Amino acid sequence: MAEKPLRLLACGDVEGKFDVLFNRVRAIQKKSGNFDEISLAPLQMLNGRSIKLASRKGEVDTKNCGSALVSSLATDLKPRYHFAALEKTYYERLPYRNHVVLQENAQHATRFIALANVGNPEKKKYLYAFSIVPMKLMDAAELVKQPPDVTENPYRKSGKEASMGKQIPAPEEEAACQFFFDLNEKQGRKRSSTGRDSKSSPHPKQPRKPPQPPGPCWFCLASPEVEKHLVVNIGTHCYLALAKGGLSDDHVLVLPIGHYQSVVELSAEVVEEVEKYKATLRRFFKSRGKRCVLFERNYKSHHLQLQVIPVPLSSCSTDDIKDAFITQAEQQQIELLEIPEHADVKQIAQPGAAYFYVELDTGEKLFHRIKKNFPLQFGREVLASEAILNIPDKSDWRHCQVSKEEEEMLARRFRKDFEPFDFTLDD
């Protein structure tokens, strides 16, 4: 028989306004019943690392506030709930795990909630009601079950503390076994997938093959279905291609050479090169007076396509782009959550899960977990809207196709422009 959960109510800083607090609690209990316990949030604060922790509701910049001591205490105690009150604002962080996946035994997740002060004029939330079963009464498997939106522990790897602590080395990833043509005609030779001349190592490590598609794939580089005239740059594990029917002439895709369905499924070595391409493209577009927006739709797709769309700096600000995504999402009843800047999609989405993800040039990220249906052109619709690029007629790529000759011309031009930023030539 399942244990009956306790009904608890946490409260922010009272500041002597007990009459306001008691009146509010009486009203709540009259409507929904009595609580087993009412607790005032202790004087704790979130850790003081220089990171910006985003949440479902509200945002807290922890760069100039926090307590290293409380951070250490939270790391050791691993509370199921952690309440704070000194910042006098409401903030609910995504839950975080208290173990390293596949390296440590699974443990329960922690939820961090900051509460505003009682009776604050901004009417920010200062009461938080929740139900909880004591740990000693719970089944072990149920206790360590992770929420679907769980992230990594924000207290891990913090500067000197991380370097002094015991680190578990990540398993070494082997290079993908593939040779492909070099787009730099001047070199006139093939380049191995390690990015270096094969003569550099007399006894190279035997590599493993990248994942293979179950059938024909339009985006696996070795596939005959790939329109190779659109390919503009090739790295060790990823390649860059012009988008077919792009929103602009320099709308590009970052794609893995091997067959991966989504960012969540990428190996560490592929993730590293994806990040390298993202940083390089940001520098490239910035030099041309543009900022870039990245998005991925892991829904009704078989091969990862990371869309990179440049937006002229004169067209709008990053906040305008963010507001456009949020506004159109609300209009279509799509819940876009802001996720921590230093977290990534792999931390909150499981392999095989459908999702939509946007990354802005500031590093801000928006995430939607697709549960049923999702508009396939949503990302393009937002960026093509009057608020951003003002080309609403281009929201569907099928209406933007040009001849193969024009695609070839655009690809040649992009390769030439991108060459000064091409990190693959440094190998």
Total-model pTM: 0.55
Residue 252 in this model has a pLDDT that exceeds 90:
yes
- Residues across the chain: 427
Strands 6-11 and 37-40: parallel
What pLDDT score was predicted for residue 344?
Answer: 80
Residue 178 in this model has a pLDDT that exceeds 70:
no
What is the rounded average pLDDT of the residues 167-180?
36
What pLDDT score was predicted for residue 38?
Answer: 83
Say which residue, 250 or 75, is predicted with more confidence.
Answer: 250
Q: List, for residues 301-359, the tens digit of each pLDDT value.
A: 989 999 999 999 999 999 999 999 999 999 999 999 988 767 788 888 888 899 999 99
List, in order, residues 6 or more apart from 170 with CB less than 8 Å away: 268
Say which residue, 72 or 49, is predicted with more confidence.
Answer: 72
Distances (CA, A) of 123 to 88, 119, 328: 11, 7, 27
Q: What percent of the chain has pLDDT over 70?
A: 78
Residue 197 in this model has a pLDDT that exceeds 50:
no
Least confident residue range of 7-11, 65-69, 135-139:
65-69
Band (366; pLDDT cuts 50, 70, 90)? very high
Q: List, for residues 86-125, the tens digit of each pLDDT value.
A: 788 888 888 888 888 766 778 899 988 888 999 999 889 9
What pLDDT score was predicted for residue 367?
Answer: 94
Say which residue, 260 or 69, is predicted with more confidence.
Answer: 260
| Structure tokens, 65 | 């506030």
CA atoms within 13 A on the CB side of 35: 19
Residue 194 in this model has a pLDDT that exceeds 90:
no
The pLDDT mean for the chain works out to 80
Q: List, for residues 3-60, the tens digit of each pLDDT value.
A: 688 888 889 888 888 888 889 988 888 888 888 888 876 543 343 332 333 333 444 5
Least confident residue range of 122-126, 146-150, 231-235:
146-150
Band (396; pLDDT cuts 50, 70, 90)? confident
